Structures are given as C-alpha cells and as structure tokens.
Amino acid sequence: MKKIMYVMLIMVLVMGGLFAQGTKESGGMVSTDGSTSMEKIIGALGEKFVADNSGVTFTYNPTGSGSGITAVAEGRCDIGLSSRALKDSEKAKGLKETVLAYDGIAIIVNNANAVTDLTLDQIAKMYTGQITNWKEVGGKDASIVLIGREAGSGTRDGFETITKTKDKCAYRQELTSTGDVIATVARNADAIGYASLASVKDTVKSVSVGGVVPSEKTVKDGSYVVQRPFVLVTKVDTPLSKTAQEFFDYITSPKATPIISASGAVSTH
C-alpha cells in the first residue's frame, strides 16, 4: 500500500510540474519602456496581443525615448521604444533598432490662434528667438510662448534635427510628456508646441507646414517634412523571451498595419 501511495505521489508531483510548465509557456510577459509619443500605438498593439494570447501580461512604462533606450541596455525591459533613430554611440553598446512606423511631428497652436500655416524657416526662427511676436507670422500682436520637450526626448530630438535648431531653442517650458505639451498649448492662447501627430486631439490646432497639412497620407508620401521614425530597440546579442519575440514578430508584421494606422501613425508595410 505504501509503495502504491508513493508512486501516486510521484505522479501527482510530475503532473503538477508539467501543468505548471504548460501554464508558464501559455502565458508569459512582455515589458516595454520609453517614448511617451508611442503610448497610443504601443498601447493598442499590446491590448490586441493580450486579447489574442490568453494569460499574457503586457506592460508599458512611459519614461521617454532616452530612458527607454537605457532600460533595454541595462536589461530592465524586453523592448525599448524610441521616437528617434539610435545614435552610433548607442548602437556601439550592442543595441539594435527596428522601425515600427513613421510619425509626423505636428506643430500645434491654441485653437484661438488665427495662424494656420507656417514655413519651416519661420518655425526655426520662432524657436531660436528671431521671431518673437505672432504678428510677424500673420497672427495677433502677442509674444510667442515656446513650449517644448525635455532633453532626451525623441520628439525634441526629431523636431530640432529637422528644423536645424539643436541646442538653440529658447523654450519657455520644457515638459516631460507629449500630453503635457498638448495640455499646456491648449491652456495658453499665445503658445506654440510640437507633438506626435498620433497623439494630437481637438483641444489644439495643428498648423500646416509650407502649405502641407500633417496627415497619414502626407507623412507616407514624404510631403510633410516634420516627421520621424517610431523605433523598437532590442539587444543584438540577447534573444527575447518566447512571448516577447512573438509580440515583436506580430507588431512588425502586416497584421499590425490596421492598428498602427488607426493609431495615427504610418506603417512600414
């Protein structure tokens, strides 16, 4: 009897182990960290992946592009999110970039502002303090309030690179998220800011740049010049977990295109 009970106990433990292993493999976790501009797109993709894969946990930590890149390098997340291309110095640390989509950087003003179009040169001169009053670009007689992102932001890097204003901008406020920039411009009739096109709401107004309205179409055909990539950052020599790799493969496949488009970005497919 004791021998039979012993055998049964062993079988229970083995089956329990197999069950636990099966549960782990059928679930899993994906952790992402980085760009606040990518919140809408990565959130939608994560939600769909979780819905299609029972037991999977997905997390997103909106810390900014620079912090997300560092998190990958230090092994604190599976996939980093950056709204700018990797620098050569970052690639030298063993990091790899994969372009998920392209995003327009909208130049936003308060809804009460009469200005509807600006040239790239005017935007650059405004942010470097050469144009200081809205009347100089067709608006009312009021001082221009310059709103931007903090150092390390992918959106700021993209904006300053395209406008050739890197390290020259005379910001009134440097904010830590896309949402904060939009909210600040919405509250200040004399403010101007920049934000991911995918995140812009009707609380502010996007101006056209050189006569071209920011949209999925104009970003895709390249006619809207203020645009940058949305990048996935991984380690070259460190494979992703099974679940994280499945997520990566899904969001970089044509299957993700409808969700990416619905989120306001332009898929690479």
Among 149, 142, 211, which Cα is nearest to 175's?
Answer: 149
**pLDDT digits 0-9 by tens, 164-186:** 999 999 999 999 999 999 999 99
Long-range contacts at 56-59 (CB < 8 A, ≥ 24 apart) = 56/27, 56/28, 56/29, 56/30, 56/243, 57/27, 57/28, 57/29, 57/30, 58/29, 58/30, 58/32, 58/247, 59/29, 59/30, 59/31, 59/32
Among 92, 188, 107, 94, which Cα is nearest to 155's?
Answer: 107
Asked whether the beta carbons of 93 and 72 are under 8 A apart, the reply is no
User: What does the pLDDT read at residue 20?
Assistant: 36
**Fold classification of 103-227 (topology level):** D-Maltodextrin-Binding Protein; domain 2 (3.40.190)
Domains 30-102+229-267 and 103-227 share a fold: yes
What is the rounded CA–CA span in Å between residue 79 and residue 248? Answer: 8
Mean pLDDT of the chain: 90
Q: What are phi and psi of 141, to 5 degrees?
A: -80, 90
> Is residue 7 scored above 50 in pLDDT?
no
User: What does the pLDDT read at residue 2?
Assistant: 40
User: What does the pLDDT read at residue 153?
Assistant: 92
- Tell me the residue length of the chain: 269
What number does CATH give the domain 30-102+229-267?
A: 3.40.190.10
The structural domains of the chain, with segments of one domain joined by +, span 30-102+229-267, 103-227
Give the residue-averaged pLDDT of 184-200: 96
> Is residue 56 scored above 60 in pLDDT?
yes
Give the residue-averaged pLDDT of 103-132: 98
Give the residue-averaged pLDDT of 143-153: 96
**pLDDT digits 0-9 by tens, 68-101:** 999 999 999 999 999 999 999 999 999 999 999 9
> Is residue 15 scored above 80 in pLDDT?
no
Average the pLDDT over each of 21-25, 33-37, 42-46, 263-267 and give the range with the smallest value.
21-25
Alpha helices in 188-251 (DSSP H): 216-220, 242-251
**pLDDT digits 0-9 by tens, 200-238:** 989 999 999 999 999 989 998 999 999 999 999 999 999
Percent of the chain with pLDDT over 90: 86
Res. 27 pLDDT band, cuts 50 70 90: confident
